[in-house]
Amino acid sequence: MRLNSKVALITGAGSGIGKETALLFAKEGAKVIVVDINAAMGKETVTEILANNGSARFVQVDVTNEESVKKLAKEIEGNEQTVDILFNNAGISGVGQLHEVELETWKKVIDVNVTGVFLVSKVIVPFMVEQKSGSIINMSSCIAEIGLGNRASYAASKGAILSLTKSMQVDYAPFNIRVNALMPGTIYTPFVEDYLSREPNREAAIAKIKERQLSGDLGKPIDVAYAALYLASDESKFMLGTPFMIDGGVVNG
Ligand code: NAD
């Protein structure tokens, strides 16, 4: 197994990409710490892992709340005592052109998508520094590179993650910690369904997404989970500070 006995912490593991990655990491032998703000969904992920003879436990955390994140670190000190793999995956969407976005919405998107990565990494990096090894995967998006439009706050948040990833990589490479970023295209999850459900013409919106992708279809959470598995495992040991695109061949449009 590719992650035998590694401790893997995944934020936003109650749904979509995070959940699929938690299931895959567990299948590959990892002890998964399932983190989510939504207790019912996070516990469901753990139930599915245990039903498949995997190892997992749930910790309810709001990644934007420093107290909540510090409590998580304390919990880990008393349990696993380390983290080998951190997948900073929790995120929310932000639709709208810049002039339409309310300041409150802007702050919320930056808070979850950027400050959440900062806060969780801040408490987990010391475990990795101590053991002189670790793999951190930060969730960006292909939107950080392409001009998709109508996503001002979201695009800004995911662009920030690329810069943060490179900065973290330089700082922690001396401790044998790798920090890479994932840049998925459109992956069919509740996150995308939420956006589609607000579109006046759902079918037309799906057709437009498909048109933009050379693959001709939306991605699935497992497509990203496999990429996360590669970045988490030692197979990617020569990848440091890399933005890893997994987007079905998205073209500007
Ligand atoms: P999702 O909505 O299915 O899952 C997101 C999870 O994050 C949920 O379980 C939610 O409860 C959790 N979460 C939200 N706020 C939180 C908080 N404050 N603290 C802890 N947990 C919180 O979304 P998804 O599509 O699986 O997206 C996962 C990540 O992938 C996000 O960062 C998203 O921006 C990114 N992404 C998604 C796509 C896509 O097309 N689905 C594309 C590129 C990037």
61's torsion region: left (phi>0), alpha (psi -120 to 50) or beta? beta
Cα 148 to Cα 63, 96, 110, 144, 168: the distances in Å are 27, 11, 18, 9, 27
Please report which helix (H) or strand (E) contains residue 225, including its range.
helix 221-232
Q: Are 84 and 134 in contact (CB under 8 A)?
A: yes
- pLDDT on residue 17: 98
* Residue whose CA lies nearest to ligand 1 atom number 34: 91
> For 103-121, what is each residue's pLDDT tens digit?
999 999 999 999 999 999 9
Which residue stretches of the chain have pLDDT < 70?
252-253
Within 10 angstroms of residue 205's Cβ, the number of other Cβ atoms is: 16
Whether 184 lines ligand 1, by a CB cut-off of 6 Å, is yes
In a 3-state reduction of DSSP, which class is residue 9? strand
Whether 41 lines ligand 1, by a CB cut-off of 6 Å, is yes
In a 3-state reduction of DSSP, which class is residue 135? strand
> For 177-207, what is each residue's pLDDT tens digit?
999 999 999 999 999 998 899 889 999 999 9
Whether 187 lines ligand 1, by a CB cut-off of 6 Å, is yes
How far apart are alpha carbons 122 and 119 in whole angstroms? 5
Instruction: Tell how far the Cα of 17 is from the centroid of ligand 1, in angstroms.
Output: 7
Whether 248 lines ligand 1, by a CB cut-off of 6 Å, is no
Query: To test ligand 1's pocket by mutation, which of 17, 210, 244 has the most ligand atoms within 8 angstroms of CB?
Result: 17
Instruction: Tell how far the Cα of 11 is from the centroid of ligand 1, in angstroms.
Output: 9
> Which ipTM did the prediction report?
0.99
- pLDDT on residue 147: 80
Which residue among 154, 172, 226, 230 is the active-site one? 154
Give the start-to-end residue ranges of the domains of the chain. Answer: 7-187+221-239
Pick the CATH number of 7-187+221-239 from 3.40.50.740, 3.40.50.720, 3.30.450.20, 3.30.420.40: 3.40.50.720
Is position 188 annotated as part of the catalytic site? Answer: no
Instruction: Tell how far the Cα of 89 is from the centroid of ligand 1, in angstroms.
Output: 6
Look up tokens 């013409």; give the residue: 201
Burial group, residue 53, by CB count within 10 angstroms (0-12, 13-18, 19+): exposed
Q: Is the Cα torsion angle 117, 120, 123, 129 positive or negative in sign?
A: negative
* Percent of the chain surpassing pLDDT 70: 99
- pLDDT on residue 252: 66
